[in-house]
Structure 1
Amino acid sequence: MSPACSLTYPSETLPNIQKTFANSINLPTLNAIIHYTYNASNSSLSVAFEAAPASPEGWIAWAINPTGTGMEGAQALIALKSDSSLLTKKFNISSYSSIVETNELAFDVWDLAAESGESGRNVIYASVKVPTGVKKLNIVWQVGANVIDGRPIKHAYAKENLNSKRELQL
C-alpha cells in the first residue's frame, strides 16, 4: 500500500461515542475509514469502521478473515437499517454465495454498536479479541444498497468492491 492511501492520526474521536483511537487509516476503496487501537496487554482491538452505504437504505460491513485474504471465510459485522434505527449483526461469510447470521464468530466481540453519522456515513463500533502474538489481521469491508427482512442483499461487483481488503498491522 502506498503512503498516499494510508493516513495515521494521533487520536481521533468520533461523534456520539466518547472513545478515542490511536490510529486512523483511509482505506483504499469505498471511501471507508478505520479507526483503531490495539491493546497488546490483553490482545484486544477496538475499532470504529466508517463508510457510506451504497444507498440510504443500504448497509456497511467490516470483517476479519482468520483463514484467508478475501471475503470467503470472513467473520463480519454488518450495520443495517431496521425501521428507523441502525442495527449491527454478526455474519459468517462461509462462501461467496452464503452468508449466515450468527451469535458467535471465530473471535469474541463486545461493545458492538452502530450509529448514523452526518453526511450519510455510518459507523460500526466493536472490540474484538485477537489471538495472542498476532501482528497483523486480514480485514475486508463492504457497502451494499439493499436490506430485505433484516438481511443484507449482495453488494455491487465493481472493482472497488472486489478490492476492499488489506492487511491491518497491529
Structure 2
Amino acid sequence: MAITTVSSPALVFLVVVASFLCTSTRAQHSSCDNSFSFFEEGIAGNVTHCRKLRTLGAELGWSYHNTTPNVTLNIVFSAIPSAAGGWVAWGLNPGNRPQMVGTRALIALRPANGTLAMNTYNLTRDTMLGCKLQPSPIEVQVSNMQANFSEETGAITMSATLSLDPSTYNISELKHVWQVGSSVVDQVPQKHRMRLKNFDSFEVIDLTTGRGFRDTGLTKQRVAHGVLSVFGWGILLPVGVIIKRYSRNITKNPEVWFMLHISFQISGYTVGVTAWAIGIALMSNSRHFNTFKGHRTIGIIIFCLATLQIMALWLKPKKKYEGGKIITDRPRKYWSIYHHLVGYTLITLSIVNIFKGFAILRPPPVWKWIYVGLLAAFSCVAFGLEVAIWVHKSRNNKKTSR
C-alpha cells in the first residue's frame, strides 16, 4: 500500500510533464515595428520582415526580390557582443543543416582599441579546431556591407545585400546561424563562449512567412532531462532519506517507515534513471560532447551510486536473533555504515549536479529559486525532527535516571 500511495503523485507529476512536453513549440516571429534596435539606429533600410532570434538577444530584418537569375536578399542583423571589444556574426549554410561548419558568414569586429570592421568569412572545420579565422571571399555575392555600433545599447548592427543562387539557397528553408564573441586579437575574432545559448544559435527560416523552425525534439528532451532529474534525484531521494531517519521515531510499526523509505527510493531511482537515459541520448547526439564534462561525469557517478543503493535490497545482511532479541553483528554494522555513507554522498552529488544543470540550461530564475525553497524546507523539517528526537531522548534519560 505504501508504494502505491507514493507512486500516484509521481505518476500525476509525470503526466503533467508529458503534456507540457507535447505542447508544440513555435518560433517567435513578428512584423517590423519600432521595437527593433536597428530601427532606433535608423539603419533598417527597406526590410519588410523582422524577427527576434531565439538566443543571444539577436535580431534579424530582411526583404527579398525574385530577380533573375538569383534572389536578391537585403538583411539587417543586430546583436550585442559578449564583452566590450568583441564581435557579432550572421551567415548562411548551404549544407543539409544549419551549423557553424560550412557557413558563409558576415562578421563585424570591434576591437577594444580599434575601429569597426566588417568582412566575409568561410567557416571550415579547421575553424572549429582552433585555426585563425581570416577574411575570405565566399561564393555568395555580397554588396553594400555596412556596420554600426551603438554606444547607448552596445549593439553592433550589420547590413548587406546578398545575391543567392536559388538552387543552393531555398528561401522557404533558408538555414542560417548567428553568433557573438567577447574578444578580437589582431583583427581575428576569438572563440565564442561554450554555453548552450551559443550552441543553439541556428534555425531554418522561411523568408516568405517570417517563421523560423528548429528541432523542438531536442528542446523537449532537455526539458524532460532537467525536470525528471530534479524530481527524481533532487526531491524523491531526499524525502526518502528523511523518512528513513525520522519516521521510525513516530510509529510503532517499523515496517511502515521501511516501506515508505523503499517506495520513495525506488520511485526516485526510476525517475532519475529515466532522466539519466535521456541525458545519455542527448550526449550521444550532441556535437559538443566534451563541453559539459563535469555535469556528465557527476551524472554517471550518481547513476552508479544509486544503482548500488538499490542493490542494497538484496545485499543487506539478514538480522540475527539471540534469545528472541535482535543482536548487532559486525557485517550488518559495517553494511549500515557503507549504506549511509553512499546515500548521503549520492544526495550531495545530486544537488550539486542539479545546480550545474541550472547553470547549463539557464531556465527562468523562478525554477531555480523554487528548488532552493524546497531544499530549505527539507532542511527545516530535518532540523526540527532532529531537535524533537534529542529532546525526547533527553527526557527519557532523565526519567530513567530517577
TM-score, normalising length from structure 1? 0.89
Q: Deviations over 1:43-85 (max 9, x none)?
A: 1110010000001111000011111311010011111125442
From 113, 121, 127, the counterpart of 1:91 = 121
Larger Rg: 2
The letter of the residue matching 1:159 is L
Structure 1, 139-148 or 79-88: larger mean CA deviation: 79-88
Runs of 4 or more above 6 Å deviation: 10-13
TM-score, normalising length from structure 2? 0.40
Task: Report the counterpart of residue 8 of structure 1 in structure 2.
Answer: 31
Structure 1, 73-82 or 142-151: larger mean CA deviation: 73-82
What are the within-5 Å matches in structure 2 for residues 1-150 of structure 1? 2-3=25-26, 5-9=28-32, 14=39, 15-17=41-43, 19-42=45-68, 43-67=71-95, 68-82=97-111, 83-95=113-125, 96-97=128-129, 98=131, 100-117=133-150, 118-132=152-166, 134-135=170-171, 136-150=173-187
SS at match of 1:76: strand
Task: Report the counterpart of residue 253 of structure 2 in structure 1.
Answer: none
Between the aligned partners of 1:10 and 1:81, the Cα distance in structure 2 is 27
Provide structure 1 residue ranges, at least 5 long, that are not aligned to the other structure: none
Higher relative contact order (CA 8 A, sep 6+): 1
Between the aligned partners of 1:115 and 1:88, the Cα distance in structure 2 is 10
* Greater share of residues in strand: 1
Contact persistence 1:69–1:138 (CA under 8 A): yes
Contact persistence 1:10–1:23 (CA under 8 A): no
Question: Is the alpha carbon distance of 1:18 and 1:6 closer, same or farther for their aligned partners in structure 2, counting shifts above 3 Å?
Answer: closer
Provide structure 2 residue ranges, at least 5 long, that are not aligned to the other structure: 1-23, 208-402
Task: Report the counterpart of residue 345 of structure 2 in structure 1.
Answer: none
Contact persistence 2:133–2:188 (CA under 8 A): no
How far off its partner does 1:91 sit? 1.1
Q: Please give the root-mean-square deviation of Cα atoms over the aligned residues, in Å.
A: 2.2
Between the aligned partners of 2:179 and 2:102, the Cα distance in structure 1 is 14
Identity of aligned pairs, percent? Answer: 26
Question: Is the alpha carbon distance of 1:54 and 1:18 closer, same or farther for their aligned partners in structure 2, counting shifts above 3 Å?
Answer: closer
Q: Deviations over 1:93-131 (max 9, x none)?
A: 111224642441121000111000231011011111111
The letter of the residue matching 1:20 is N
